[in-house]
Structure 1
């Protein structure tokens, strides 16, 4: 793997060696050195241009892949509520944000998925916790009457103080469950 890191430096090394040869070399060697110098400069310029294009796109793709965690969590919560069945009331209460500290303010801008963070009785009743060993979202469940509930997932994916927010609204009515979603700023 270390070799891959140094591959972009190869044209630069060629440029430096070519400059040395041009200064001290014979006529025939100079021509070759000048050609190597031009090729090295062109390759370096091409790599810098490619990096300028690829790096921002890669960072955007990484942010979007982390943003997928929110909708996935809503799907899991919907499944957990459907498994409980429409005949049982929704758990009452408010879990508060879990984990309590935003993931953006932690090391690596991610939260460790500690079992102790999911100790609230509502999380245990719904059998819910974040997926994976590290996650980017905070989660909250609220229900005042057991008939209506809101499950929320939020994250500040680029740590600028603006949150992406995903909400699953659940309504229990006449022996059936109704679901609706609300999304605000999905890639922030």
Structure 2
């Protein structure tokens, strides 16, 4: 009798018990993976907001000291989309940011990045944009920083893309 009880204890898990565990793991994965992917996209989008805020702050300093925003324009930097790079990020290239427009704004990106940045500025209004294809599927999103000066008071407003784009 005791030997039969020992054999029952040594049997292990039944097929039904294993299937229940697999089903529970599947349900947890079905909930966790999409949430994780959304979290990753949000973290990638943060880059654009941070860099455009940096441009906005630097341009406000320029306006306060000279009563004019940085004038001129800078085309998309880097010139090609970041999806062409091996790790889907634009590599750091100091030469990209050596253009007079970026130097006037005291702006450069010092680490691999996901967005291309551009700037168009006049004395009383300017716009900086960040365009990026975060998952390299051909659908890009655009962030904009609109800067204006009303009555000698510079302001900046970040315009974000609609949710669930890209």
The TM-score, its normalising length taken from structure 2, stands at: 0.81
SS at match of 2:123: coil
SS at match of 2:70: coil
Q: Do the aligned partners of 2:118 and 2:130 also contact (CA within 8 Å) in 1?
A: yes
Structure with max Cα Rg: 1
1:99 to 68, 78, 89: 78
Matched, 1:178 2:133: no
Q: Do the aligned partners of 1:70 and 1:137 also contact (CA within 8 Å) in 2?
A: yes
Residues 84-123 of structure 1: matches in 2 within 5 Å? 84-86=62-64, 87-123=66-102
Shift of the alpha carbon at 1:174? 4.2
Q: Which residue of 2 aligns with 1:136?
A: 114
Matched, 1:68 2:46: yes
**Any unmatched runs of 5+ in structure 2?**
none
Q: Distance in 2 between matches of 1:138 and 1:185?
A: 19
Q: Which residue of 2 aligns with 1:127?
A: 106
| CA pair 66-154 structure 1, distance change in 2 beyond 3 A | same
Q: Do the aligned partners of 1:90 and 1:149 also contact (CA within 8 Å) in 2?
A: yes
* Residues 21-58 of structure 1: per-residue CA shift (max 9 Å, x gap): xxxxx997477536343333322222222222211211
Q: Distance in 2 between matches of 1:63 and 1:45?
A: 28
Q: Distance in 2 between matches of 1:30 and 1:100?
A: 70
Q: Do the aligned partners of 1:94 and 1:141 also contact (CA within 8 Å) in 2?
A: yes
Q: Which has the higher helix share?
A: 1
SS at match of 1:157: coil
Q: Distance in 2 between matches of 1:180 and 1:35?
A: 60
Deviates more, 1:102-111 or 1:178-187: 178-187
* Residues 99-150 of structure 1: per-residue CA shift (max 9 Å, x gap): 11111232222112222221111111111122x522111110112x433211
Q: Do the aligned partners of 2:60 and 2:155 also contact (CA within 8 Å) in 1?
A: no
* Residues 69-94 of structure 1: per-residue CA shift (max 9 Å, x gap): 11112211111112223334222222
